[in-house]
Amino acid sequence: MQAIRPQWPHTIDDIRSSLDGIWGLVGATGVNGNLYRLERSLHEPLTYTITEYEGSEESKVLNKKTFSAADKEQAISAFAAAIGF
């Protein structure tokens, strides 16, 4: 089965821009059909959290992983891999 990459974000830089923006959040459907969100904490200590939800709704969390500020690029890479980059 061929995986179709979501329309947004278009690039890894789009992910970075979203995280560094006002909301500090980016979401997309993964190659497995589940919704993924990568978000920056709004308060110190700065962290990045990837949350995987079952299907396209945010009603059931399947997995959640938190990264430290020093591991921002690792969080971006993990999110990008989950959505098909």
What is the reported pLDDT for 7? 58
State pLDDT tens for residues 21-65.
989 999 999 999 999 999 999 999 999 999 999 998 899 999 999
What is the reported pLDDT for 74? 98
The pTM (predicted TM-score) of the whole model is 0.87
What is the reported pLDDT for 41? 96
Contact 69, 55 (CB under 8 A): no
- HEC string of the chain equals CCCCCCCCCCCHHHHHHHHHCCCCEEEEECCCCCEEEEEECCCCCCEEEEEEECCCCCCCEEEEEEEEHHHHHHHHHHHHHHCCC
Question: Which has more confidence, 35 or 2?
Answer: 35
What is the reported pLDDT for 6? 47
